[in-house]
Structure 1
Amino acid sequence: MTLPLRPDLAGLEPYGAPQLDVPYLLNVNENPYAPPPEVVDAVTEAVRAATGGLNRYPDRDFLPLRADLAAYLGSESAAVGLDADHLWAANGSNEVMLHVLQAFGGPGRVAMSFAPTYSMYPEYARDTFTQWHVAPRASDFSVDPDAAVAEIQRVRPAVVLVASPNNPTGTALPLETTRRLAEATRTSGPDGGASVLVIDEAYAEFRRAGTPSAVTLLAEHPHLAVARTMSKAFAYAGARVGYLAAAPTLVDALRVVRLPYHLSAVTQAVARAAVAHADLLQRQVTQIRQDRDACVAWLRERGFDTVDSDANFVLFGRLDDRHAVWKGLLDRGVLIRETGPQQYLRVSIGTPDEMTAFRDALTEVTGL
């Protein structure tokens, strides 16, 4: 018996990085530091309280959580005027992005980005029957604003997705580039209106000093959305909470396409407990930044082509046989990611012990 699978899905494999049982997991950009005991206690109590009402559906619009996230962004990014109506949340930023494509993409419409970038973007487009278009980044993995604006005006996309810091390169957009993209997308949509410009800031808390968030531009551009996640800086990957800030009219469009009660009562409780302890959960961010910069310097000293990173990972190359290097590290118990441009590998920043294991293994494999 054959099933009526969509023809465009035939032969495809599900997305996912390798999940292997090795001592050093440095492949999916997780925060290597577990939530501290104070946060564990707060989350446990929040879950206990939520469990008493699990016979009822959760708060469908989760306004208290949205208000908490608005306050966090306002303090973290000096954003003015954000409230619950400007925030949206879902089960990871992946679901947030899917909501964006469900609301603004679809048959006959185009979503675009600048490659190399996050490998899930074309899957959001595929799953919403949206045409996918990519334009190249510059040789240093930056986005050339003149070239980007010209391509946006030519393609007339419904949605433009730009990761900043970018995955897998770690490069962040200068605020002036974001502003240029926001101005260009005011009138670049398929019907002469706006394109929705999504700046994906999943790694924003790790950006280097002096790199502002696109959140500061939201008041000027009602078609701009800034996506975030609690998976990285909040050390909350297992909780699956992502969120987005935008004008209320854009947020309201996402409410139309979300599944009923998509954010469980337990997820809402866990997320609010985390936001209330943001300082504790993020106390290792400075350490991760320092270890990232030390990793970049160490790799460069050994002759690797290494990209300046504003994230919690480092892209390095150029490797004649990157798979052989990846496999050599794996044989030594170190799992990193074979992704992005050919000849490059990506390593997540781990604990000091994990980074020592990575350096020792890479030295053995490459002889450098």
Structure 2
Amino acid sequence: MTATRIDDLPLRDELRGKFPYGAPQLDVPVRLNTNENPYPLPDALVARIAERVTEAARHLNRYPDRDAVELREKLAGYLTRTTGHPVGRAQVWAANGSNEILQQLLQAFGGPGRQAIGFEPSYSMHALIARGTGTGWLSGPRGEDFTIDAPAARQAIAAHRPHVVFVCSPNNPTGTAVDAATVLALYDAAQAARPEGGGALVVVDEAYTEFSHHPSLLPLLAGRPNLVISRTMSKAFGAAGLRLGYLAADPAVVDAVQLVRLPYHLSAVTQATALAALEHTDTLLGYVAQLKAERDRLVTELRALGCRVTDSDANFVQFGRFEEADGGARGAWRALLDRGVLVRDNGVPGWLRVTAGTPEENDAFLDAVRELMKAINERRNA
């Protein structure tokens, strides 16, 4: 019997020939390709998670709190304390990872007949989720230094009149931050481009903001009902396995995403685990300080080895530039993998991305790059 292929199914046309998102999951000594926090959760937090989950387990015969009221209250408190900008529970919504947050936003504000724009290279899931929700995708411009070219971006918004605008700050995979003036310029351009029907939504994806040299853009929410800040607990909180993302926005945006959210979408176990993590915020942010120092060390040492490095405000570093004559980014990626170090090839020509790991992991990575650059220089001089 012939096996059924995906193309034999009545698949939507825009999904044919596409591939699912995902980085290679390979068993190597040093894995620095997925922007995870390398530090395990502290024992005290693990114990607290066990206590909260045990209590939640006593009531698993019942549906969880559909509106995650306690969790949203605590997330609002975290945002208020860390940004200095007051945030209320009604302004916060939580879901299974920031990807579900983005999906819900596109379900509510995008969809068939509507378009979203992002400035690439950027987080590839923005385009993938757009496609999955039937939203048209537009690729906006970036400068040669990977920053958003504000005048060019405004022109693109005016020309295409998107319904949703994505801004990633710090940007993945480049690590570059976006300043408040640029976001305000794009927000104003988006509203001017779509004066009818309530304007356009602008989503600032702040998945890595705790690692940034720059303050959060969350204070820009005041007086801007079409602005959304998206966050995650996967990075700074070291809880990638938890799958908890959240947004802050005008309460009307929170009301809107509840029109498309699945019923009881956040399990009682997820809510209990996230609440336990929020009790240990100070400890977890201490790991962030260590990772920021290691990231800055990677930038300095990679440049000393002769690599070009994009300034980074995230927990990762984009480095290169590997010319095609030297095997390109893919050849460099393979050479590092052969030395036991897995980094990320995001498809940006000539560039790779490495996550800041523990000091020992970073040392191993730098040793591998040192060997790689030596081999490249020897070939060039042969």
Q: Are 1:92 and 2:97 an aligned pair?
A: yes
Q: Are 1:196 and 2:204 an aligned pair?
A: no
Cα contact 1:109–1:190 (8 A) shared by 2: no
Letter of the 1:275 partner, please give it: L
Question: Secondary structure in 1 aligned to 2:191?
Answer: coil
Q: 2: CA distance between counterparts of 1:175 and 1:340?
A: 28
1:341 matched residue in structure 2: 348
Q: Are 1:170 and 2:148 an aligned pair?
A: no
Letter of the 1:166 partner, please give it: N
2:65 matched residue in structure 1: 59
Question: Percent identical across equivalent pairs?
Answer: 52
Cα contact 2:141–2:152 (8 A) shared by 1: no
Question: Secondary structure in 2 aligned to 1:256?
Answer: coil
Q: Are 1:26 and 2:32 an aligned pair?
A: yes
User: Structure 1: any 5+ residue segments left out of the alignment?
Assistant: none
User: Structure 2: any 5+ residue segments left out of the alignment?
Assistant: 378-382
The 5 A counterparts of 1:1-368 are 2-80=8-86, 82-189=87-194, 191=196, 193-208=198-213, 211-320=214-323, 321-367=328-374
Cα contact 1:117–1:167 (8 A) shared by 2: yes
Q: 2: CA distance between counterparts of 1:137 and 1:193?
A: 27
Cα displacement (A) at 1:340? 4.4
Equivalenced residue count is: 365
Letter of the 2:117 partner, please give it: M
TM-score, reference length from structure 1 = 0.97
Moved more, 176-185 or 292-301: 176-185
Q: 1: CA distance between counterparts of 2:129 and 2:217?
A: 22
Cα displacement (A) at 1:190? 7.6
Question: Secondary structure in 1 aligned to 2:231?
Answer: strand
Q: 2: CA distance between counterparts of 1:179 and 1:273?
A: 35
Cα displacement (A) at 1:332? 1.4
Say which one has the larger Rg. Answer: 2
4+ residue runs of structure 1 moved beyond 6 angstroms? none
Cα contact 1:194–1:223 (8 A) shared by 2: yes
Q: 1: CA distance between counterparts of 2:100 and 2:138?
A: 20
Letter of the 1:329 partner, please give it: L
Cα displacement (A) at 1:15? 1.1
Cα displacement (A) at 1:216? 0.8
Cα displacement (A) at 1:192? 5.7
Q: 2: CA distance between counterparts of 1:176 and 1:56?
A: 47
Cα displacement (A) at 1:63? 1.1
Letter of the 1:6 partner, please give it: R
Cα displacement (A) at 1:366? 2.2
Question: Secondary structure in 2 aligned to 1:237?
Answer: coil
Cα displacement (A) at 1:281? 1.6
TM-score, reference length from structure 2 = 0.93
